[in-house]
Each structure stands twice: as C-alpha cells, then as structure tokens.
Amino acid sequence: MKILLATQNQGKVKELQEMLADARIDVLSLRDIPDWEEVEETGQTFAENAALKAHAAAERTGYIALADDSGLEVDALGGAPGVYSARYAGEPKDDEGNNNKLLQELREVPDEERTARFRCALVIATPEGQEFLTEGTLEGRILRAPRGHEGFGYDPLFFIPDFARTMAELTIIQKNKISHRAQAFQKAIPILKDLISQKQRVF
C-alpha cells in the first residue's frame, strides 16, 4: 500500500518510513509525483497550512496524503518565526540563512530567556475528503552557536535540557521518540493503519 507524504523533504519521508517499517506501507514524497505544483501556504496557523497541502495532495493523486506544517516558536520573539520558519530569512528556503537570522535576532537575549518550542500540526486527508489532525510539541531553548550534524532546519540550535543535547546531536531513533513531528506522526499511525485497512476491505 502506498501513501503520500506531501513534502519534498526526504528527511521527513525517512522519519515516517521508519515509523511504518512494520506496516508494509510505502511512503511516497512529492518527488515521486511528476510536474507537482506547490500549494501556496496561505493559512494563519500550522494546522491550516497542513490541511491545505494534504487535501491538495489527496485530490490530485488519489492517495491517502499526509502533510505537516512545523515550525519554531521563540518566546523572546513573540512566537516568531512560527508559520514562517522555513522562509524566515526569505526565499529560497535556506537552513543556514534561517539559523543565522535567528542568532542575530537573539544576540542580546540572555540564555535563560531563550526558551522555545518546536510545534507540528499533521493532517491526514483522503481522496474522499476526510480529514484527521494530530499535533505535537517539544520544549527547549536556543543556543548561541550550532551543535551537531544530524537533522535539518533549526535542529543544530535547539537544545533539549532533558538530553543535554541539541536535536542535531540525537540519532534518528532518539529523535523519532521525542520530536514534535514524531509525536504528531505517532498519533497518526493508528489512524493511517485504520484507513488503509478500510481501503483494503473495499478492494
């Protein structure tokens, strides 16, 4: 059985495929869809953007589709970059540019006030128009310099006190147990399995 994760990010695809390793479900990405046209993320929240992408993917391809909108919320910046996390430093998307801008914005903020969280909203959409939402959050703080080489995005700057490491210093196994996206995806697994079971009974 194939499902579509509506992203170009192979890191996300790898994370979800790891979680579904025992379910005989193949995870496709938008790289597998010829001539895909990006969906404009016009939502004001992570959940709204995730729903826009998931429904568009399901309608265009006929697959059960998942889409997440994830981002970083920094308390000292009033919740920014938030829904603009991927393009914080402008177009095109640039992890290094985003991290550099974040460090610049926080240069005068003391360590104890650099609290932040990763937030993820994940929407599952079916070609028939059904929608399911799951969410996850992970609390941490922003360091003054990057650490680690795993992960992507803001991972090298996001320090998790309970592990005394950044997200970029965790293995994918560790990350899949605690990350905001992993939380949302773990909650989605039983929903996905149920939907696929229903489809298999129909066919």
Distances (CA, A) of 66 to 12, 54, 150: 11, 5, 24
Of all helices (H) and strands (E), which one includes residue 133?
Answer: strand 131-142
Burial level of 43, CB count in 10 A (0-12/13-18/19+)? Answer: middle
Q: Are 203 and 1 in contact (CB under 8 A)?
A: no
CA 27-28-32 angle, 5° bins: 165
Decide: helix, strand or coil at residue 84: helix
Kind of pairing between the strands at 65-74 and 2-5: parallel
In order of 32, 50, 65, the CA distances from 10 in angstroms are 11, 17, 16
CA within 13 Å, CB half, 139: 4
Q: Which residues are catalytic?
A: 69
